[in-house]
Amino acid sequence: MEKKDTRSGFGAGLTVLGRTNPNVVALCADLTGSLKMNEFQNENPERFFQIGIAEANMMGIAAGMTIGGKIPFTGTFANFSTSRVYDQIRQSIAYSGKNVKICASHAGVTLGEDGATHQVLEDIGMMKMLPHMVVINPCDYNQTKAATIAIANHEGSVYLRFGRPAVPNFTPADQNFIIGKALHLQEGTDVTIFATGHLVWESLEAAKTLAEAGISAEVINIHTIKPLDSKAILSAVSKTKCVVTAEEHMLNGGLGDSIAQLLSRENPTPIEMVGVNDTFGESGTPMQLLEKYGLDAKAIVAAAIKAVARK
């Protein structure tokens, strides 16, 4: 399986937008290389804005640039795209209803060696709490590229979250990305695994192990955490009657939290959640950190066995 980083999917999508949509502009806070925005910058120097290390100013400028019809894409690390600038996003972008795409790389513990100062695990929660904010966490290079292109056609504020490490690139290159539409990756009858971001691949690996143990796991990719595809989730659960959620994010405020809210209202179902439980990350390699914080296939298998036992 070819491995590629999701941030490069963002860069490739942005390059396509640079060539196809003259209203797209890009802003970056001194992390152009890390965000893979160089190609857009080289091809469209007049539409690329190097803001410097001033993320608050970047969010405010992006909001202002929408007045007159531009579609700004901001790029920096996920931590600096959210927690550092939450009030600027809240007032100038979300409350003001601006058509800004907040594109955030290096999300979660897989940022790796830089450690907890940079490993944001609360961003999905913060962003999904903002009214009308769309929150997307694609799972591989191809899906990130497709999502980047798709959000340019969505009128409204969007948070697009992706990461640093090279991970298997397993979704089709020609996929049609539909915001808010869950993707069935594998059919199964005993348990449904709802996964987002880097943990989608881990869920597919887990499903193989579960199959060997005689458990038929359905794997559904929830790339859009908000708006949540409630219909697809409820339909799957009505069949398998137990659930695992998997995400590289804090349990509080993440995908599992959204699905638990939905199920407790509509169809109370045993649910096990794979995520980070009220702790900060630390330095290490991405794979070491996924293992230590229980964010890998092994953890998903254990959660699925537990969920099935609770039926």
Partner 1 sequence: MNFWFILFQDKRTEHKNYQTPTKISVNKSLNFYQQSNISNLISQIYNTIFAKNYTINIMPDISKLNDVVSQVRRDIVRMVHANSSGHPGGSLGCTEFLTALYFEVMNHNTKFSMDAKGEDVFFLSNGHISPVFYSVLARAGYFDVAELSTFRKLNSRLQGHPTTHEGLEGVRMASGSLGQGLSNAIGAALTKKLNKDDSMVYTLHGDGELQEGQCWEAFMYAAGKKVDNLIATIDYNQKQIDGSLDEVLPMGNLTAKLEAFDWIVLEEFQGNNIEAVINTLGRAKELAGNGKPVAIIMHTEMGNGVDYMMGTHKWHGSAPNDEQLADALAQNPETLGDY
Say which of 2, 46, 55, 187 is annotated catalytic: 55
Residues 6+ apart with CB under 8 A from 79: 106, 117, 118, 119, 120, 123
Q: Is 148 in the site for partner 1 (CB under 8 A)?
A: no
> Helices in the chain by DSSP H: which ranges?
6-20, 32-35, 38-43, 55-65, 78-81, 86-88, 123-128, 141-151, 199-212, 230-240, 255-266, 286-292, 297-309
8 A C-beta contact, residue 252 and residue 121: no
> Helices in 66-115 by DSSP H: which ranges?
78-81, 86-88
Residues between 86 and 145 with contacts to partner 1, criterion CB under 8 A: 87-88, 90-92, 95-97
Q: Is 66 in the site for partner 1 (CB under 8 A)?
A: yes
User: Structure tokens of 265?
Assistant: 């209202």
Secondary structure letter of residue 49 according to DSSP: E
Nearer Cβ to partner 1 (58/276): 58
Nearer Cβ to partner 1 (89/308): 89
Residues between 10 and 49 with contacts to partner 1, criterion CB under 8 A: 25, 46-47, 49
Nearer Cβ to partner 1 (60/108): 60
Among 45, 68, 212, 265, which residue sits at the site for partner 1 (rule: CB under 8 A)? 68
8 A C-beta contact, residue 40 and residue 7: no
Among 1, 45, 69, 278, which residue sits at the site for partner 1 (rule: CB under 8 A)? 69
User: Structure tokens of 88?
Assistant: 């600027």
Among 35, 37, 59, 297, which residue sits at the site for partner 1 (rule: CB under 8 A)? 59
Nearer Cβ to partner 1 (47/118): 47
Rounded-to-integer distance, Cα 280 and Cα 130, Å: 23
Task: Let me know if 55 is a catalytic residue.
Answer: yes
Nearer Cβ to partner 1 (61/217): 61
User: Structure tokens of 270?
Assistant: 């045993």
Q: Is 169 in the site for partner 1 (CB under 8 A)?
A: no
**What residues are labeled active site?**
55
Chain residues binding partner 1 by CB under 8 A are 25, 46-47, 49, 51-52, 54, 56-70, 72, 87-88, 90-92, 95-97
